[in-house]
Structure 1
Amino acid sequence: MHHGRSSMRRTSLVLGLIVVSTLLALAQGTDIASAVAIAPNGSASGTITSQNANHYWKVTIPSNAYFRCQLVSVSTIDVNIILYDTDESTSITSDTQSGPNSEIIAFLKPGTYFLRLYLWSGTSGTYTLSTSFSSPVRAADTELNNAATSAIALSPTGASTGHLGYYSAGQTDVDDYWKITTTQDGWLRVQVRADSLDARGDRRLDFNVILYDVNGTTSITSDTRYGTFSQVDYFLRPGTYFLRVWHWDGRAGSYEIKSEFFTPPLANDQEGNDSYQSSLSMPVNGSVTGHLGYYGNGQRDNDDYWKFTTTTDGKIVITTVSDSLDRSEARFDLNMIVYDVNGTTSITSDTRYSTVSECIVHLRPGTYYVRLWLWSGNGVSYRISAPQTTPSRANDQEGNDWFATASTLTLDVTSTGHSGYYSNGNTDSEDRWRLLAPSADSVYVHIISDSTIDLNLIALTPDTSSSITSDNRNGTYSRVGIKPTSGSTYYFKVYQWTGTAGSYSIVATRSAATTDVPRESETALIPTELTLDQNYPNPFNPSTTIRFSVAEKSVIRLAVYSLLGQEIAVLADGLLTPSTYTATWNGRDSHGMEVTSGTYLIRLTTGDKQFVRKALLLR
């Protein structure tokens, strides 16, 4: 009886061991569907046998992380390990080395992954499984942003962070796209700084960056240097541009992306003015600003066209001043061409290497064009101005270039005219005048011009077929005399010999002497003696004023000489009535050319009297 109870106990013990063994096997997961959960930073133990040679575990990763799994078994068995993807079937990595220790590492995105432990050799034994994970130091970007169409917005002056190199569902995140929208011209600089080492700490990271155009596919610039730092920068027009940060080397890590945007100091012009047909208006005696060199949508703005309209003859100095350096410390070179009224014929240009360009033109009324183009440098802002200086005397009636359309001279009446001004392919360098002789008395025709031009004078017969006399002297004064036939019309040709442009006075008199030096005031006291004041300012640059007084009607000559006695310029030469006068010397000779720095003599002569003052010109 006792023996029977003992037999029953042994039977119950065997059955109990079988049940416990079965429950343990189920707890450790005999297939992937029954995988047992283990914490990302956890550990578990198990017993593996030849009858139960596969154990399955699963681990859920909450964020991008460096994941590490270590297996230590007793020395009597060799257990291998495989890590599967979230689909439960795709192998990510494994460790099949012989021995009691196995280890796998992976850089994983959030998800549930599976571990298969299988017995490679031995019959049975225990093991310990340990897991750990660590997240990057910076926050992740919002996935999926692996194409321009799903790019994440980044402020032009903002910063954000992202991750690259992490794996899940058959894909490793090797590309991040960002987009930046600019609303004005400016220099965009984007810097990417990655972790110095990946999360395992034994491989250096290398992330590269490309800047794309507004279409998201055309590369503008890139930085593929080896290292943890990359930078792209460009001078961009308004638009939305794209950045691709891609994983070149290392396993996985985080990065910071930072953008900066610098606008030029001067306002932009209205874009689209890249031909003379679409040129923008600029005021004479005013200034406007613009930009050149900024890029967008496959085009770089290298040309700006401006137009200005002048209603009178005048000297116009067109000046462009650009930024000295751009934000990347490259120097600019902005060139300039001035075009005629047709917009295509070049009048003059300035292509010097400088941030300043200047074109001086002497123009007749009309609309003219200016082309600015960027020769070197990147993105630039500039200011362009066009101050005008008009002649001191009124113009003649234009069209008097031929004898048939000659302007009329009246005896003892001063007329005025202009010479040297250009438009529509022609420079007005000749004027014709005609005089109806009221008697047979001698007639003298006098010309006094601005110091910027040297005019010659020819008197012609009534049929204009031959010259009677001419005056080709250098200087601002010319005179011819004729003995006319009463009632006949005589012609006079005024033509420019040298100089740029200016005005002149022409008068026909009975006297061989005349002048055109201005009086200070009609109400000034009549001087009691002939005087020559010291010029002011002195030293001077570029011009100085000479004041002198005439006590009685006399022929006066005021001229400038070098220290060697060479005549440089004549400021007055003719008959003056008692008054106080002023004359101006602009530091040029009688041909309109600038003279060098130095001391010059201003000499006033009349009859047997002479006065001299020293003038110092400093360039």
Structure 2
Amino acid sequence: MKQRNILVAIILVLGLLIFSKGNAVLADAGDAVSINTNQSYSSTLKDYDDEDYYKVTLAEDGNIILSMNQKANVSWYASIENSSGEVLEDFNTDDSAMVSGAASRQVGLPKGTYYIKIDNYYNATGVKYTFSVQFTKSSFYEKESNNSITAANAIDTDKIYKGTIRDYDDSDFYKFTISEDGNIALSIKNKAGTSWSGHIQDSKGIIYEDLNSDDSELVDGYSITEVGLPKGTYYIKLNGYSSYSHVPYEFKVGYTKSNFYEKESNNNVTSANSLSLNQTYYGRISEYDDDDFYKFTLTSDGKVVLSLKNLAGSSWEAKIHNSKGEIYQTLYSDDSELVDGYASASIGLPKGTYYIKVTNYSNTVNKQYELKAAFTGSNNYEKEFNDNLATANLMNLNQLYYGNSNTSYDKDIYKFTLPADGNISVKLKQVPNMEWQATVQNSSGTSYVELETNDSELATGYATANKMMKKGTYYLVIERNYGDYFNAAYAASVTLQTSPISASKVKLENNKGKDDKISVSGLVKGDVIKVYNASSKGQVIAQNTAGSSTLTLSVKQIGLKSGKVYISVTKAGMTESSRVGISYTGEQSDPLKTSQVKVYNNKGKTDAVNISGVSKGDTIKVYNASSKGKLLATKQVTGNSGSISIKQLGTKSGKVYVTITKSGMKESGRTAVSYKGEQTTALKSAQIKVTNNKKKNDTIVVKGIAKGDTIKVYNASKNGKLLASGTSKATSSTLTVKQLGTKSGKVYITITKSGMTESSRTSVSFKKK
């Protein structure tokens, strides 16, 4: 029993030694005492070899800070470990004479169970220590251990993460995935006196970009490096660089989704990034020997304009080449102090696949460049290489071609064919301070035309040269004589003009009331005929292409009056001819209305035809027949009416036929206008015998007349009453009147011959009954 009591006493003593103020102190991690975060705990180490273990469980990811009181001439060692005994963070407290406060270390951890180990470092046996584990829940702290790719922490882009580098051997790895191509910007927060290094790599360890943060005294903000990457999974590795131990860092992986950032690695032709034309791309040269390659394809011939954004103090070099490395164009961006905008260079290329190589020329490492390859499809731009007769570009006549001189010895050659003999015109655009030379030669090198541009400062327009040439195949050679060759541009053409058409081959109908017609003969199928309303400029009023040797064009209205049209012809492969003027008569004037014409058939004087409702300058003609016949009179009126005199229309009634011809127009149709005959000559009183009978009808006998004459008897010299009327059937005629009167008196008799008007009245006396 005594022995049992002694054993119990020993256990109690041991218990008192192990526990102080309710805190368990254990000899190893297996016996670790569970503690809570964000609370303080105290205990003592019983001897030099004693170690105390505590266990803390994190329900979520986050950051813990292990803090421990400090005491003069005493130092404890404290560490944070995982269940495998791996030390995740550790430190010794300060034992200096004036020390106060607490020492602390922090580390980001995933949820789980961890251990706090406290050990004697110097003179700590029997001295009370106090510590706490502060916890901040967060997904944005590093989670140790993350010292390798396989243990890398998964992170999201565009989020700030925090962590610490414990010592020289410590590395923190992070893993991120981008689902689409884009630009990655790795940024590390700068801190005075402390610097970290970081890089972006893939799973094979290939490093795309790296950087060191800035540790200068007054530093602020972030150090940043950028790289374009294709979709996939990548890693960030962070290390200490200077005075970094246990100092918290902050970093972020920024991501911008885009197909228009370079995608590393693209350091050679086989790994070249595909480039879309007419889009701006962004990239960086990461080292002085870094090259960025891009590949593009032209589906048709055309012009490529390569451009690089200028940046003061930095210059990039870009070259366009083929898969064989043959260089078509070279471009340097401008690095002058006040530079702005873009440097650009043009080149004509046939359809195919090409490459752009971007390199450092001056101070561009880790600086972003902007690159663009703009394309315009065209058959009228030179297609390199065209430096000799065998590779000469085919040239169509009468079209302007464009090109560039890419080197001091560059020569561009074009091949063209003249389908017929003719006069060619060579044109070469003039550029200030630049002298170009153009030569027309045959395949044997015989020159026919030599032309040089004006290189003065104010040069404009085109230099031209003309030459009569035989049909055949020739070459146009363009070279630079003087001036800066770099990206120098030219424009040139060779034209062959069609000969003008013969006026005798043109027939024109200016129709009234329907479309006018222009017929052209002597053509070749494919000839283009144009009809203009002026000898130069003006408007095209008709145009068509000949399907055979003749062509008829319709024009709704050439013009009412006479005038000219101007006709050109353009043969295939040639320019338009000069215009030939073709005269035409006006349309037929509208005929006069009968109401506009009055005819006076005068007796004993000149007859007259009066016209009204006309215009000054109108020409009036009077005919004696509806067609052909005799022109009786013509006159041009001086106002809006006129009178035409005719010596004798005829004694009897009839018709005249009147036309009008308006200025610039054709003569109208004839308008028939009737006129009366002249007045019949009055009877003589001797030709008349009047008998005033008693108890029977009175008689009036008229002799010396003709068959068909009409005799009328009146009771007054004018007006009055018609007493009798009759038509003669012979040379005399007897008319009866029932009663002239019982007393003597007078009657008044007229005669009207056929086709003439009634005569004046002849008075004849008669006796009383």
TM-score calculated relative to the size of structure 2: 0.41
Q: Which has the higher contact order (CA 8 A, sep 6+)?
A: 1
Higher Cα Rg, which structure: 2
